[in-house]
Amino acid sequence: MPEYKKIPILESARRCGLVLNQRTLRRSEIEASCPFCGDHGAGKYHLFLNTSTDQYHCILCNASGNSVTLYAKVKGLTNREAFLELDGDGSIYPMPRQPSSPYTEPQPRELAERDRVYSDMLSLLTLSERHREDLLRRGLSEERIERNRYRSMPETENGRRLLAGLLMGCGHDLHGIPGFRTRYNSWTLAGANGFLIPVRTKDGLIQGLKIRLDVENGGKYRWLSSRNMPNGTRSYSWVHVTGNTASKRAFITEGPLKGDIASFLDNDALFVCIGGVGSLHGLKETILDLGVTEVVEAMDMDQYTNPQARKAVLAMRRELNSIPDLKVSKYVWDPAYKGVDDFYQARAAAV
Ligand SMILES: [Zn+2]
């Protein structure tokens, strides 16, 4: 093994023709466009050049190494050839060139495979007492909470790595499964803490998972996704089906948990839950697939007063009206209750 003379990482980057972020040139860590992943789009700088260790690391694709291996990889040389060129006289500094991004965003794997991984994942997780109490407060029963398989996100990085490791031990490949990503070359789970809500097809297969974030993380709903992370995968706004799928009438609401609760409180009424009032993708297919003859809008009451949301509701209605022979109506309840689930819960409490 020859003893390599130290080659500054910036020298190597310049000789590779990397595009450098001019504003970072005086820093100990200089940013550059990544020649390996193209930063998933032009004009970004995900490659970090550490001028004290002379190492590089892309925070997007995880490519890493030293000044010699950088040059070797970019130029297609062996490390020895790279060293000899870098160490030789007559340095050539090519014009920096924006890396072309050969990148197309990784897509989630097919439904059956996502369902297999997510089902096993839920089997390995538990629901914390705090989250169980939250779900009980929303009107669900212990039995329904069990059946719907809500689970708490593993709260520590160790727990998340362990989960990923166990899933791989079961023979699962985590590429293409939204939520999973690598960090320093080992698989882990992305996403803030909260509880997971399985989003299912009419046949009960898990499309994806939504996280109800803990209050300290904002208390909102987010898809479990690892978009733009190393080896990560985006999620889509999948439609959730809950309740009696033999029913000829479906209620439409926004958000899978709202639908689960309303269906439970209304004798397993069939609910079709869209991911957001503006995300209609998959709605028409789901309605057709269910073979219902009637749909009833049960959107939150504020959707009818907020002009932005109202526009989205009208777009949804047009989509529904384009389905032949489908009766579309609007569910009206006491506007004192914001959502259909709140209304049902109050009604159940009053009995
Ligand atoms: Zn990269």
- Say if residue 277 is in the same domain as residue 332: yes
CA of 91 to the centre of ligand 1 (A): 25
- Say if residue 217 is in the same domain as residue 131: yes
- Say if residue 118 is in the same domain as residue 165: yes
pLDDT in tens, 192-235: 999 999 999 999 999 999 999 998 888 899 999 999 888 999 99
Tokens found for residue 332: 């009206």
- Say if residue 216 is in the same domain as residue 267: no
CA of 249 to the centre of ligand 1 (A): 50
**Is residue 37 one of the residues assigned to a domain?**
yes
CA of 238 to the centre of ligand 1 (A): 29
Q: What is the CATH number of the domain that holds 334?
A: 3.40.1360.10
CA of 37 to the centre of ligand 1 (A): 4
pLDDT of residue 351: 63
Which residues have C-beta within 8 Å of that of residue 1, sequence separation ≥ 6? none
CA of 23 to the centre of ligand 1 (A): 20
pLDDT in tens, 323-347: 999 999 988 877 788 888 888 888 8
CA of 45 to the centre of ligand 1 (A): 9
**Is residue 324 one of the residues assigned to a domain?**
yes
CA of 18 to the centre of ligand 1 (A): 12
**Is residue 105 one of the residues assigned to a domain?**
no
- Say if residue 254 is in the same domain as residue 283: yes
Q: What is the CATH number of the domain that holds 219?
A: 3.90.980.10
Nearest to 204 by CA among 173, 243, 174: 243
Tokens found for residue 166: 């166990």
| Distance from C-alpha of 4 to C-alpha of 7, rounded to nearest angstrom | 8
**Is residue 234 one of the residues assigned to a domain?**
no
Region label for 176, one of left (φ > 0), alpha (ψ between -120 and 50) or beta (otherwise): left
| Distance from C-alpha of 226 to C-alpha of 71, rounded to nearest angstrom | 30
Residue 136 domain boundaries: 111-223
Q: What is the CATH number of the domain that holds 25?
A: 3.90.580.10
CA of 83 to the centre of ligand 1 (A): 22
- Say if residue 247 is in the same domain as residue 344: yes
**Residue 3: pLDDT over 60:** no
**Residue 66: pLDDT over 90:** yes
| Alpha helix positions (H), 39-110 | 67-75, 79-87
Helix/strand/coil for 184:
coil
| Distance from C-alpha of 15 to C-alpha of 75, rounded to nearest angstrom | 10
Q: For the whole prediction, is pTM greater than 0.85? A: no
**Residue 260: pLDDT over 80:** yes
**Which has the higher per-residue pLDDT, 200 or 91?**
200
CA of 5 to the centre of ligand 1 (A): 26
CB count, 10 Å around CB of 131?
Answer: 20
Query: What total of structural domains would you count in the chain?
Result: 3
pLDDT in tens, 284-305: 999 999 999 999 999 887 777 7
- Say if residue 22 is in the same domain as residue 82: yes
- Say if residue 215 is in the same domain as residue 247: no
290 close to 250: Cβ distance less than 8 angstroms = yes
